[in-house]
Structure 1
């Protein structure tokens, strides 16, 4: 991907991010979609968060696997930095490592400051919080004893960081396959969290857009600073 196409993708991603933020802020689409994951007869979510196999495959085990993968890529870079085969893929490997750090860090930082409830927390789905969106303020008479950390989707951020695999490959077909794999895995993680009441649809979409925007910025900076000068 050239710097020109990266710049275009950055602009497009930013515009789309703003549109999605506004769209979900002014509509109740999140609620309508989330109703599909909730049983109003017994006031429970359609997937049990305590179910051990899915919890391991789609949450705890997968999260650890993503960390191990990032450390593995970092190890390859450090140990084999001067090897010719690594030089060929060095740009993509650096983008992957930086994305694996920066994307989750950004999402976790946003979660720490936005103070937005999860679906399971709001009154409509049996919780005790009002339906507060990210740019809303809590009612004056609502007593909150601590910040809540549900926006955007932190768990899926590790999966979306894998969209950086796009920059590892040279052939367009392989780039598309890598991007498709990362998006599919991340959305599997996101849908699991929706099914147990931890996130709205918008939380995962926002995480995906922020992740891709940051990956593009990382690729742009890395290419300009360390690779274009050497060509």
Structure 2
């Protein structure tokens, strides 16, 4: 279960340290005519950025409301801990990414002189070591609004195991959509998104272990609360 977090971490370091980050960004900005012409595009900015973030927040509020309802309705109390896990994991993952962003000191592509900004490119590890007061673009905050929902994989694994892969796909696809949109806007490098995935998966896995939830076999008809 820890493997995906390691893969995300390794991918982030490879992308950043090998220069692949820059190669991808070079191609992305070249497609836009040499500047971030899509930065304010309605689909990317209003749709995937602003509305996407609100949709993720609304989904979290819905989970929290369902959790509260299980506290008032004894007949569905067996859903209380899984829903509590899901709400806590999603919240913790997004907060964890925000905290790392706050202290990383890593610039966004659109801030770099290479792409029309004013800051020199100093590289991932050097930027973190310098503890710069500016930056704050690593890892990718908006992608966490999607990747935090990889916790659905564990939630369904403990409740309705036949849906666990669908839950994982939902979190990964949302994270990819939000992350790629931000890359096209010039807000992040690919390594930023890979690190966000790593943090979100790690939080989801640790929270699942801490919650003490069962991992149900993916057999037909098997579900939380089902009679043996």
Partner SS for 1:80: helix
- Secondary structure of 1:79's match? helix
User: Are the counterparts in 2 of residues 155 and 189 from structure 1 also a CA contact under 8 Å?
Assistant: yes
Task: Note the C-alpha offset of 1:96.
Answer: 1.4
State the 1:188 CA deviation.
0.4
- What's the offset of the Cα at 1:210? 0.9
Shift of residue 41, structure 1, vs aligned partner = 8.3
User: What is the aligned-residue RMSD (CA, Å)?
Assistant: 2.4
| TM-score normalised by structure 1 residue count | 0.81
- What does residue 15 of structure 2 align with? 24
What pairs with 1:1-231 in structure 2 (closer than 5 Å)? 9-10=1-2, 12-39=3-30, 42-45=33-36, 48-81=38-71, 83=73, 86-137=76-127, 146-169=133-156, 170-223=159-212
Deviation per CA, 1:130-150: give whole Å up to 9, x if none. Answer: 212231049x9xxx8x51211
**Aligned partners of 2:12 and 2:192 also within 8 Å:** no
Q: State which drifts further: 149-158 or 127-136.
A: 127-136
Tell me how far apart the structure 1 counterparts of residues 13 and 25 of structure 2 sit (CA, whole Å): 19
Are the structure 2 counterparts of residues 180 and 42 from structure 1 closer, same or farther at C-alpha, using a change threshold of 3 Å? closer
Q: CA deviation at 1:25?
A: 4.3
**Structure 2: gaps of 5 or more residues:** 214-228
Alignment partner of 2:212: what SS? helix
Q: Distance in 1 between matches of 2:90 and 2:121?
A: 32
Distance 1:85 1:115 in 2: 49
Inter-partner Cα distance in structure 2 for 1:155 and 1:32: 22
In the aligned structure 2, how far is the partner of 1:100 from the partner of 1:14? Answer: 16
Q: Using structure 2 for the length normalisation, give the TM-score.
A: 0.82
TM superposition shift of 1:82: 5.2
